[in-house]
Amino acid sequence: MKILRTTVVVCLAALRPAASEPIAQIRPETQTITLRAASVFDGRGRSMPDATVVVQGSKIVRVETGRTSPATYELRGLTLLPGLIDTHVHLDTHFGKDGRADNRGETVQQRILYEAENAYVTLMAGFTTVQSLGSPLDVDVRAAIARGALPGPRLLTSIRPVDENTGTPEQIRAFVRKVKADGADLVKLFASKSSREGGAQTMTDEQVAAACGEAKAVGLRTWVHAHSPGSIRAAVNGGCSVVTHGSQATTEELQLMARRGVLFEPNIGLVSQNYLENRSRYYGIGNFDDQGFAFTEKLIPLKLAMFKHAMTVSGLTLLMGTDAGAGAHGRSAEEIVYRVQIAGQRAADALMGATSLNARAIELGDRVGAIAPGMDADVIAVDGDPLKDITALRRVVFVMRNGVVYKNIARSKLPGPRKHEDTKNARRSGFSPGK
Ligand SMILES: [Zn+2]
pLDDT value, residue 29: 62
> Ligand 1 centre from 433 Cα, in Å?
42
What is the helix (H) or strand (E) element at residue 129, kind and residue range? strand 127-132
Q: How many helices (H) and strands (E) does the chain have?
A: 14, 14
Q: What are phi and psi of 38, to 5 degrees?
A: -60, -35
d(CA 6, ligand 1 centre) in Å: 48
Residues 33-40, mean pLDDT to the nearest whole number = 96
How far apart, in Å, are the Cα atoms of 371 and each of 128, 317, 348, 368, 404? Answer: 13, 21, 14, 8, 15
Of the candidates 213, 294, 207, 305, the one whose C-alpha atom is nearest the C-alpha of residue 226 is 207
| Ligand 1 mean position, distance from CA 88 (Å) | 6
At 55-86, the pLDDT tens digits run 999 999 999 999 889 999 999 999 999 999 99
Q: State residue 31's pLDDT score.
A: 82
The CA 109 to ligand 1 mean position distance, Å, reads 23
Confidence of residue 296 (pLDDT cuts 50, 70, 90): very high
Q: What's the gap in Å between 265 CA and the centre of ligand 1? A: 11
**Stretch 298-320: mean pLDDT, rounded?**
97
pLDDT of residue 411: 61
Mean pLDDT of all residues belonging to the chain: 90
CA 126 to ligand 1 center in whole angstroms: 20
Residue 30: is its pLDDT beyond 90? no
CA distance 95 to 22: 30
Q: Which residue has the higher pLDDT, 257 or 419?
A: 257
CA-to-CA distance for 371 and 376, rounded, in angstroms? 8
The residues whose Cβ lies within 5 A of ligand 1, an ion, are 323
